[in-house]
Structure 1
Amino acid sequence: MAIQRILTHPGGAHKDEFLACSLLVAVHGVEIVRREPTPEDLADVTTAVVDVGGEHEPARNNFDHHQFPADSPPICALSLVLMHLGVYEDARSFCDWLEPAEWFDTRGPITTGKWLGVDRETMAKLNSPVDVTILRRFAKVSRLGPGDAIWEVMKFIGEDLLEYLRSLRARLDFLATHAEFWTVGEDEVLFLPRTEPLPEEPSAGIGRYLESIGKGTSVSALIYPDRRGSGYGLSRHNDDPRFDFTRIEPEADVHFAHARGFVAKTSAAEPERLRQLLAAARI
């Protein structure tokens, strides 16, 4: 049966249940009630019980983590909802903020700071009025539904997160199908040929793709279709110093080279010519 309401705990609010509820709002578009659950709530498959209730039973849409042993991995209610939606592994891979959020919610700020290698004061400096105000306003209400400002913001957040994960997965699959790896001198380079239709942002996701296949540090340069012309963009990967694209600025078919040397644009489209430009830019 479809979820008809989301129930989470009253009182102080945290990013954990706020984001977990945001995802469920994006999927189901239902109201949020903030109170302690009853046994009937936990048994009702049409009520998603989030971050409260002492039960993780996704078949009944119950997503609490507080009953887990103290030495269990840092898994929070947000983690459980992401798992339920089938996007947890991608979220752990591609949302750099997720693992620290899991640690913060399950281990607290001091232990999380030690894990990150920073002190608690440094972590506090990362807060902003965006975090404070939205969570404070969420904590002050007992019920939220369509038309309420915070509910609508939560829907946006959940939709954007799911769209990011699902579109990135599709993008990575596209790159796995089309990307080629060249060797220029002693360096490995990723080449993405032009396809039709051309993606809106041809270079999007390349860094994540390289990380996902274990080439995040071995590839030193990228070649990808220029979305503003018929040629290609050439850039360092992770600002690798082995390429300086100011070296090819005098070439007739190079119409832009950044003064800091990390990117250039060329009207060249033939692979052999692109290899020549890369070789010339190599230090």
Structure 2
Amino acid sequence: MHKIVVHPGNAHRDDFLAVSILLAILDEAEVFRRDPGREDLADPGTYVVDVGMEYDPERRNFDHHQDKSLPCAFHLVMQDLGYHEDAQAVFGWYPFMSMMDVRGPHKTAEHLGVDASVLLASSSPIDGYILSRFSRLETLRSQDLLYQFMREMGRDMLALIKLKKERLERLRREAEIVPVKQLKAVVCAIEDNPKLSMELYLRSLEDARVMICITPSVRGEGWELLRLGDSNLVDFRAIADRPQIRFVHANGYIATTRTLLPLAEVLELAARSVADGEEHIPM
């Protein structure tokens, strides 16, 4: 059985995610929240994570605090397992999680061009609760509920990397970019998790005129029309009274149809939602 040693005290996303990934790939392990001893650092069967002042992948030591050039421990573990580059490509949160851990919220906020209070205000109470449960423990074994949760979370994360890469390639084959008045829409008929990797596909287009996304709805049997960004040129409240429409959000950023209408009819509805003009279209 493998051992994982991680620092005691308050837990953070860094050590929690690093341990979750290790639990996902190891047959069985026991987690200890304590400072490591020399024997831990010397034993390649013991993973020492986010503590120990040593980065030595061959001996399974993954701390970053002794070297400001290193990313967070989670990234070090992902690099060692061969998932880092793919995670960097498919998870928008991935690079900034390391920045938050290594440089802190103020430097991260400065990098993002926002006030640090915005990052702090966006902290999830779900995160806080789960991390507090991990913080209270001294050991974690396979029969513990939190162990099982972390292992499944790690497995799901690794599976999602593969799914998002596969879906991106499918979107490149099947998605269409069509004109909608002076704008453009991306249309894709994939029904299974239709938004999966859509943000990656849109980023790869580098086309600021793509302001509408049309996919099958996950809430009903029709299409979903979604405004991309926050342009005042697209407002689906303009079609709220059309008989084909099932729902329009009060803020006008999303609408759904009652059925999967022919594409020409969906695009006609989208065009009715686009105001004339060029304002707020980045060039």
| Same fold per superposition (TM over 0.5) | yes
Q: How does 1:1-283 map to 2 (within 5 A)?
A: 4-28=2-26, 29-68=28-67, 70=68, 72=69, 75-116=71-112, 117-119=114-116, 124-127=120-123, 130-193=126-189, 198-199=191-192, 201-215=193-207, 217-226=208-217, 228-229=220-221, 231-249=222-240, 251=242, 254-258=244-248, 260-262=251-253, 263-265=255-257, 267=259, 269-283=261-275
Q: How far does residue 219 in structure 1 lie from its aligned partner after superposition? A: 0.9
TM-score (norm 1): 0.77
Q: 8 Å contact 1:63–1:81 — kept in the other structure?
A: yes
Q: 8 Å contact 2:217–2:256 — kept in the other structure?
A: no
The verdict on how the C-alpha distance between 1:154 and 1:226 changes in structure 2, with shifts beyond 3 A counting, is closer
* Identity within the alignment, %: 34
The verdict on how the C-alpha distance between 1:40 and 1:184 changes in structure 2, with shifts beyond 3 A counting, is same
Within 2, Cα distance between the matches of 1:260 and 1:109? 31
Within 1, Cα distance between the matches of 2:213 and 2:127? 36
Within 2, Cα distance between the matches of 1:32 and 1:133? 19
Q: 8 Å contact 1:51–1:77 — kept in the other structure?
A: yes
Within 1, Cα distance between the matches of 2:170 and 2:101? 35
Q: How far does residue 145 in structure 1 lie from its aligned partner after superposition? A: 0.7
Within 2, Cα distance between the matches of 1:249 and 1:137? 46
SS at match of 1:235: strand
SS at match of 2:66: coil
SS at match of 2:32: strand
Unaligned runs of 5+ in 1: none
Q: How far does residue 281 in structure 1 lie from its aligned partner after superposition? A: 3.1
Q: 8 Å contact 2:239–2:245 — kept in the other structure?
A: no
SS at match of 1:75: coil
Q: 8 Å contact 2:184–2:211 — kept in the other structure?
A: yes
CA RMSD of aligned residues (A): 3.2
SS at match of 1:224: strand
Q: How far does residue 109 in structure 1 lie from its aligned partner after superposition? A: 4.5
Within 2, Cα distance between the matches of 1:132 and 1:224? 34
Unaligned runs of 5+ in 2: 276-283
Aligned residues: 270
What are the superposed Cα offsets for residues 117-161 of structure 1, whole Å, 9 maximum, x if unpaired?
324x66555556654554444344332111224323322432343
Within 1, Cα distance between the matches of 2:239 and 2:105? 49
The verdict on how the C-alpha distance between 1:183 and 1:157 changes in structure 2, with shifts beyond 3 A counting, is same
